[in-house]
Amino acid sequence: MTEHVDGVSATRGPYRAGRARRQEIIRAATEVFAREGYRGGSLRDVARSLEVTPGAILHHFGSKEQLLVAVLADRDEHSRTAAARYFESHDTAGSLRAIVADNASRPGLMRLFTTLAAEAVSPDHPAHDFFTERYLRLTGFIAEGLDRENFHAPDGASNRDVAALVLATMDGLQLQWLMRPQFSMTGAFDVMLTAHGLLPCRMREPEQAPAMGEAR
């Protein structure tokens, strides 16, 4: 029989401890995979950083592949949380800007994504299907948002074309920012949105970092 203390099930203690340990492992794996890549980083490297055995990690995730999926899902959860209020108000440009700003505040996750996305081009990479599905899903999400907002792409382009351009810009800016952190990724993203009519100049927030080439 489960004991209760102050109306709270005692079984929650081990459950919470297990969740906390899983998050510790995900954070450690994020750092290892971001630094070494998925193929270069081993479970032993992750375990060593936590001062545990590889078996302790396998107890929570079962395999290195499952750990990778958990790391990628954690990265996407950060993005969803950052953009939640824009999703609710159907503000597509706002949600994308929030994601770019959140990425800039989490260089470890951004380095991980950039490293793994490049590796996952190979069809035999365990994250290949994840990234393939992710780009299809995000392209559809952005295009549907633009359709809902009655955005009309110029020169006969479709909103899916615009969505692909937006994702390519986001990925390219991440790479540039990792190479040169003083570069304003959020400012440059605003320039792209404004140039393509996705973000009227009047909507730019005053606290937004200045765009490339703007005077401070």
Average pLDDT (169-187) is: 92
Please say if the pLDDT value at position 1 is more than 60: no
- Residue 211 CA to residue 189 CA, distance in Å, equals 8
Spatial CA neighbour of 48 closest among 61, 57, 35: 57
Average pLDDT (178-193) is: 92
- Binned at pLDDT 50, 70 and 90, residue 122 comes out as very high
- Binned at pLDDT 50, 70 and 90, residue 14 comes out as low
On whether the CB atoms of residues 171 and 183 are closer than 8 A, the answer is: no
- Binned at pLDDT 50, 70 and 90, residue 77 comes out as confident
Determine the pLDDT at residue 132. 94
Spatial CA neighbour of 29 closest among 4, 61, 77, 76: 61
- Name which residue leads in pLDDT, 115 or 17: 115
pLDDT tens track for 23-64: 999 999 988 988 888 888 899 999 999 999 999 999 999 999
Mean pLDDT over the full length of the chain: 82
